[in-house]
Structure 1
Amino acid sequence: MLVPKPVFSQLYQDNYTMWEKEAFTQTEDTIMFGLQEYYDQVVNATRACFHFINQYVDIDYMLWIRWLLSPVFLCFVILPSLILVFIYITSIILYIHRFHRLRLLNRLQNSVEQGDFWSAGREIVATLWDAHAWLWHGYELKGHEHIPTDTGCLLVYYHGAIPLDYYYLVNRILLVKGLMVKSVVDRCLFSMPGLKIVLDVFGCTTGTVDSLAEELSKGSTLGLSPGGIYEAQFSDHYYKVEWRNRLGFARAAIKSNVPVLPVFTVNIREAFRTLPFLGSVWHFIYMKTRLPLRPLFGGFPVKLTTYIGQPIYPEPDTTPEQFRDKVKAGIEQLITQHQRVPGKILPSIVDRVWKSRAHTD
Structure 2
Amino acid sequence: MTGRNESCGADQMPMSYLTCLLYTLEGWTGVEHLDEYLSYLAYLKWLFAPLLVAFLLPAIILFLLYVSSFILHIYKLRAPLKEVYTNDFWDGAMLTVTTMWSVHGRIWNGYELHGLEKIPDGPALFVFYHGATPVDFFYFVCAVLAKKKKYIHVVADHFVNLLPGFKIILDVFRTVPGSQEECTKALKNGHALAIAPGGVREALFSNESYTVLWGNRKGFAQVAINAKVPIIPLFTQNVRENIRTLGGFKLFRWMYEKTRLPLVPLYGNLPVKLRTYVGDPIPYDPNVTAAELAEKAKNALQCLIEKHQKIPGNVFRALMERFETQKKED
Q: TM-score range by the shorter chain?
A: 0.7 to 0.9
> Which shifted more, 266-275 or 306-315?
306-315
| 1:173 positional shift | 0.8
Distance in 1, Cα, partners of 2:269 & 2:283: 36
TM-score by length of 2: 0.72
Tell me the SS of whatever aligns to 2:146: helix
Alignment partner of 2:139 out of 158, 162, 168: 168
Report matched runs for 1:1-361 at 5 Å: 113-149=85-121, 151-275=122-246, 277-278=248-249, 280-354=250-324
| 1:360 positional shift | 7.8
The answer to whether the 8 Å contact 2:205/2:248 transfers is no
The answer to whether the 8 Å contact 1:257/1:314 transfers is yes
Q: Which amino acid aligns with 1:209?
A: Q
TM-score by length of 1: 0.66
Distance in 2, Cα, partners of 1:112 & 1:226: 41
The answer to whether the 8 Å contact 1:314/1:323 transfers is no
The answer to whether the 8 Å contact 2:132/2:266 transfers is yes
Distance in 2, Cα, partners of 1:157 & 1:236: 15
Higher helix share: 1
2:12 maps to which residue? Answer: none
Q: Which amino acid aligns with 1:137?
A: N
Q: Can you list the C-alpha shifts for 1:119-142, whole angstroms capped at 9, x where unaligned?
A: 110001001100001100000001
RMSD across aligned C-alpha pairs, in angstroms? 2.3
Structure 2 segments unaligned to the other structure (5+ residues): 1-44, 50-82
The 1:355–1:267 alpha-carbon spacing in structure 2 relative to 1, beyond 3 Å, is farther
Q: Can you list the C-alpha shifts for 1:201-240, whole angstroms capped at 9, x where unaligned?
A: 1000223112211211121001110001000011001001
Q: Can you list the C-alpha shifts for 1:105-159, whole angstroms capped at 9, x where unaligned?
A: xxxxxx954252111100010011000011000000011111111x210111000
Q: Which amino acid aligns with 1:325?
A: E
The 1:178–1:252 alpha-carbon spacing in structure 2 relative to 1, beyond 3 Å, is same
Tell me the SS of whatever aligns to 2:90: helix
Distance in 2, Cα, partners of 1:264 & 1:210: 26
| 1:276 positional shift | 5.7
Distance in 2, Cα, partners of 1:360 & 1:329: 22
Distance in 1, Cα, partners of 2:303 & 2:131: 17
RCO (CA 8 Å, sep 6+): is it higher in 1 or 2? 2
| 1:247 positional shift | 1.4
Structure 1 segments unaligned to the other structure (5+ residues): 1-72, 78-110
| 1:354 positional shift | 2.2
The 1:360–1:236 alpha-carbon spacing in structure 2 relative to 1, beyond 3 Å, is farther
Q: Which amino acid aligns with 1:148?
A: P
Distance in 2, Cα, partners of 1:268 & 1:112: 42
Distance in 2, Cα, partners of 1:119 & 1:310: 30
Q: Which amino acid aligns with 1:301?
A: P
Tell me the SS of whatever aligns to 1:351: helix
Distance in 1, Cα, partners of 2:85 & 2:204: 45
Distance in 2, Cα, partners of 1:134 & 1:351: 14
| 1:314 positional shift | 2.8
Q: How many residues align?
A: 252
The answer to whether the 8 Å contact 1:144/1:173 transfers is yes
Distance in 2, Cα, partners of 1:288 & 1:328: 27
Distance in 1, Cα, partners of 2:239 & 2:191: 26
Tell me the SS of whatever aligns to 1:213: helix
The answer to whether the 8 Å contact 2:205/2:247 transfers is no
Distance in 1, Cα, partners of 2:254 & 2:263: 11
